[in-house]
A and B are shown apart, each in its own frame.
Chain A
Amino acid sequence: AQSVSQHNHHVILSEAASLELGCNYSYGGTVNLFWYVQYPGQHLQLLLKYFSGDPLVKGIKGFEAEFIKSKFSFNLRKPSVQWSDTAEYFCAVNPFGNEKLTFGTGTRLTIIP
């Protein structure tokens, strides 16, 4: 069974700092990859996704993620964070052709103004 590891449980940054959140998965086959975000008091929503093609994908609000197949990683990045980026971020993996979307435990991001 596939699993997803998010090594950073809580990250605290100042505004304008650069962000990188790690995500590694264990599954040997083709996968679809996702980052979801949950702002305080709101529902989970899609930030970005990778299915195929360019391994560098861009999402909403200036976020991007890079799929490195050899490292089984899909790290999330943003060059300059804002206070409004305070949220919980979840990486998720879906084996191609499978209904199961497996989530990581999430990373809580706190941005200090």
Chain B
Amino acid sequence: GQQLNQSPQSMFIQEGEDVSMNCTSSSIFNTWLWYKQDPGEGPVLLIALYKAGELTSNGRLTAQFGITRKDSFLNISASIPSDVGIYFCAGILTGANSKLTFGKGITLSVRP
């Protein structure tokens, strides 16, 4: 099945730094979502975006739904150790009957 493009597979940052993650696709999506997965747990929804151009914040997290509807980014500001985990982007294609398409995820490590 189709997947969204997330790269690199891993990112290493220093505590206090900002980090930005991108997610791209060749197809148009109606909805973009960002999930975080802590080690040994299921993914948890961070931010949902429903309109092209929408910019939404959740604490230190900010995400945007790209104008072309083919991409989205997530920004984490002032990173802290508990930000470590896997960050997945996901989207709902037009006519997909609410089935999500996922990126492979980016594993974020934060050095104290």
Does A pair with B?
A: no
Residues of B within 8 A of A (CB): none
A binding-site residues for B, Cβ under 8 Å: none
